[in-house]
Amino acid sequence: MKQWILAPGADFSRLQEREVEQPQPGHGEVAVRVRATSLNYRDLITAENPKVENRVPLSDGAGEIAAVGKGVTGWNVGDRVCVNFFRDWQGGRFRNSYHDAALGGSVDGMLSEVVVFPAYSLVRIPDHFSFEEAATLPCAGLTAWCGLQRGHFVSGDTVLLQGTGGVSIWGLQIAVASGGRAIITSSSDAKLERAKKLGASDTINYKTTPDWEKEVWKLTNKQGVDHILEVGGPDTLGKSLASVSNGGSIAQIGVLTGFDAPNVSLFPIVAKNANINGIYVGDVESFDNFVRFLNVTKIQPIIDRVFPWEQTREAYDYMKSGAHFGKVVISV
């Protein structure tokens, strides 16, 4: 069978296709024939990290069960599934050991025709999703879901989304389908128009309106937003603290502006009795709840483009360009 690996190096040119023997499931394991994968910003960071080598990349994929190992109950050949980003995080509080099995990072990921994982790490995908659509769930979708859940989102709440990448568009769709009011930023007016069609009530171009937090304040009648999916990182956190409502929640998710320390006052957190929740994707139990929500709301994920297997490097290049709206998928 075929798979892509990150050979030694520090950019996408080190992606190499190779032929390997097909793995067989052991006791308690399941083999999945992967049909589609999707890219996340994290996959760009991983490809540029020389410490990660000889690793099958990508956390996100969907497929059907090809073989079931001894001792497995509840799963059958042909079942349509995803694998959880943190293989061993089934529920409860996060533990440091879960970092030892993060797909496409500390263990091999999904850019492979067949993968083998413990049965406990699988999640059944929504019936109305194609494999391409389901491949957008494990990282971007679940992160947006958990970000809003941890902030105790309820219908009628206001949500701020930053940019129109994978996490933010998933956040927009979840918020709108849950009866929330969504405000979204982007560097592109054309993308903001698309976001409006998905139900965003207000849009702000963060290039032409760099002080977008003032606009958020105005749009919310000086109340601020109840939830922020903070994907920007150090350069946007200060603006998010200015935008959040009293008692509101910031889901601290991303590093689009880098890993440096933010140069911001922490006092707004105190003054507003606000919450900052660190979100690192999610657990199997949350993923199952998310799928239940999707089966009811019938949301269709937004896929910008599907690349064929042979054009995996081109898919990475496209993701890096930031031209996409929603998700970039690679078919397998």
Cβ proximity to ligand NAP: between 20 and 45 the closer is 45
For residue 42, give the amino acid letter.
R
Min. distance of Cβ 82 from ligand NAP in angstroms?
15
Among 3, 112, 185, 240, binds ligand NAP (CB under 6 A): 185
User: Which CB atom, from 72 or from 256, has the smaller least distance to ligand NAP?
Assistant: 256
By the rule CB under 6 A, 239 interacts with ligand NAP: no
Q: Which of 151, 169, 143 lies closest to 283 in space, CA to CA?
A: 143
CA distance 264 to 155: 31
Residue 286 binds ligand NAP, judged by CB under 6 A: no
Q: List the interface residues with ligand NAP, window 263-282 (CB under 6 A).
A: 279-281
Beta bridge partners of 2: 19
Task: Using alpha carbons, list the distances in angstroms from residue 29 to 113, 131, 136.
Answer: 17, 21, 23
Binder among 149, 162, 203, 245 for ligand NAP (CB under 6 A): 162
Nearest C-alpha neighbor of 312 from the set 14, 33, 15: 15
Q: Does 165 bind ligand NAP (CB under 6 A)?
A: yes
> What's the min distance (Å) between Cβ of 184 and ligand NAP?
8
Q: At what angle do helices 284-297 and 142-150 cross, to 10 degrees?
A: 100
The smaller minimum CB distance to ligand NAP, of residues 37 and 68, is found at 37
Identify which range of 19-27, 36-44, 107-115, 288-296 contacts ligand NAP by CB under 6 A. Answer: 36-44
Minimal distance, residue 11 CB to ligand NAP, in Å: 16
Cβ atoms 96, 170 nearer than 8 A:
no
Closest CB 209 distance from ligand NAP, rounded Å? 12
Q: Which of residues 138-157 bind ligand NAP (CB under 6 A)?
A: 139-140, 143
Distances (CA, A) of 80 to 63, 68, 134, 172, 173: 6, 13, 9, 26, 23
What is the closest distance, in whole angstroms, from the C-beta atom of residue 286 to ligand NAP in the complex?
Answer: 12
Number of residues that bind ligand NAP (CB under 6 A): 31
Nearby residues of 14 by Cβ (< 8 Å), 6 or more positions away: 6, 7, 8, 47, 53
- Beta strand 327-331 with 303-307: parallel, antiparallel or unpaired? parallel
